[in-house]
Structures are given as C-alpha cells and as structure tokens.
Structure 1
Amino acid sequence: MDELTTSIVGIDFPNEDASKSNRRMECMMCAPGDLVELRLEPTNPFDSNAVAIFSDRGTQLGYVSAERAPLIGKRMKEDDATAVFQAMHGNGAYIRIRFGGELPTLPPPVPDGEKRPPPRQMRPAQRPVYDPHAFYPDDEGPEFGA
C-alpha cells in the first residue's frame, strides 16, 4: 500500500493556538491537491501514535484516525510521506497520502449530477401498501352488468 485516503478526525475541536482557530473553517479553505503536513506526536497525552494534520498555512486541520495512526506513523518513520487535501464531503474531510516521496494522485471528482442511491431503508416501497379500508374503484366499471 503506497497510497491511501483517510479521513481527518477532530475537525470540530478548536485549536490550542492563541486565536483558537477553527479547524473546520481551515478545511473549507483548502482546495483539492493542496499540500498538507503530517506530524508525529509521540508526546500526545491521549495517543502516543497520534499523527496531526496541518494545512500549508500552518493551521491544524485535525488528526489521522486512531485506527490508522499506528500504521501511518510506522510508515512515516520508514519512508517519506507526502499528503494532499483530497476533499470535503458531507460533514467530513479527507486527505490522500503517498509513501515514497512522490505526490499522491487524486481520484477523479464525482460529478454533481451523479448521486448515490439513498440507503435501503430510505427508498420508497417497491409495491403499494394494501389498505383493506381504502376505496379502490374498478377501472372497467361494475361487474354486475349495469
């Protein structure tokens, strides 16, 4: 695995700098392909494997998820890692990381016209629901020949 996409976690927390900068706003200011910096934080009080993500303006965007941080941190110690901002999607943001020193390749954007189908529980019923108390008129008229 030389290239991967991962989410940025913690974008709703304020930064610890003097101005308490807004991580979400900083993510919204990033364009796809902007370089981001990954920094190991071995002295982080919550997770010694933490990997912080900073924009090219030096403002923290958030962290790599706790599940992926050990793998990414280990690979960063072994090889050069280059990361770019990939996209904002819904309430989250994503980065693309490539190990080996080259720039990551961004996947093609999904056109606005193409939307995923809604989750299965949100789809309309495939067949009409029968209501025994409803009135269903006969399209061909009465059957008794009147």
Structure 2
Amino acid sequence: MCSPGEPVELRHEPKNPADSNAIAVYSARGIQIGYVRAERAPLILLAMGRAGVSAIFQHKERWGATIRAHLDGSEPVLPPIADSRAADWPPPGSEDADWWPDEEWPD
C-alpha cells in the first residue's frame, strides 16, 4: 500500500471510543494503514497543535509499519540503508570480498 519515502497523513480521532488521543495513519492514496502507538500519541498530538507534524512511510513490519515523523514541521527523510552483512565481511583470510552467502542456503 505504500512505498518507502511516501508521505503519510496523521489524523487525530478525538471521538475514537478506544482512545480520545488516537491518531490514524493514512497512505498517500487515502487508505488507513494503522494507528500511532497509544504511548506516543499524546506527544505527537501536542506537536500537531504547535508546529505541525510531517511523516513518511519507512518500511513494512510483521506487526504493521514503521513511519518516520518530524515533530517540528520539517520534512523527514529515510535513513541510509544499512547492510548488516557488511560489518563482518569479508571474513579474515578471505580473498573474495565480492562473494556474499545466499541468505536461504548459508552453507
């Protein structure tokens, strides 16, 4: 429903029966993709009333999605992509730095 870096809209739902601080997250296509976590909603609501909040979709998670939000009205950006394999590669003594193991068949 979203691509990394796409803007998402945060909408306060003061009449939400579960939580009057509820903030729904909508994709750029107007489809609701979830809610901001309840413990973070009050801080974000405060910022929404002041400088404004800008948010983007970062990536899909098993439990939902990660979004990046700036609480000062500035535009958030995606962090650099980190390749966890690169930190310990190539292994000591290896002469082929361009070879990467297959993640499904590591042997």
Q: For the superposition of Structure 1 and Structure 2, which TM-score range results when normalised by the shorter chain?
A: 0.7 to 0.9
Q: Decide whether the 8 Å contact of 2:47 with 2:72 is kept in 1.
A: no
Alignment of 1:122-141 (within 5 A): none
Partner of 2:5: 33
Q: Which of 1 and 2 has greater Rg?
A: 1
Structure 2 residue identity aligned to 1:58: G
Counterpart of 1:87 in 2: which secondary structure? strand
Partner of 1:103: 75
State yes or no: 1:46 paired with 2:18. Answer: yes
Change (3 A) 1:92 1:112: farther
Give unpaired runs (5+ residues) of structure 2: 88-107
Moved over 4 A (4+): none
Counterpart of 2:74 in 1: which secondary structure? coil
Q: Decide whether the 8 Å contact of 2:52 with 2:72 is kept in 1.
A: yes
Query: Within 2, Cα distance between the matches of 1:109 and 1:96?
Result: 14
Query: Within 2, Cα distance between the matches of 1:90 and 1:109?
Result: 19
Q: CA deviation at 1:114?
A: 5.1
State yes or no: 1:59 paired with 2:31. Answer: yes
Query: Within 1, Cα distance between the matches of 2:73 and 2:30?
Result: 21
Q: Provide the aligned C-alpha RMSD in A.
A: 1.8
Q: CA deviation at 1:88?
A: 1.6
Partner of 1:80: 52
Larger RCO of the pair (alpha carbons < 8 Å, separation 6+): 1
Partner of 1:139: none
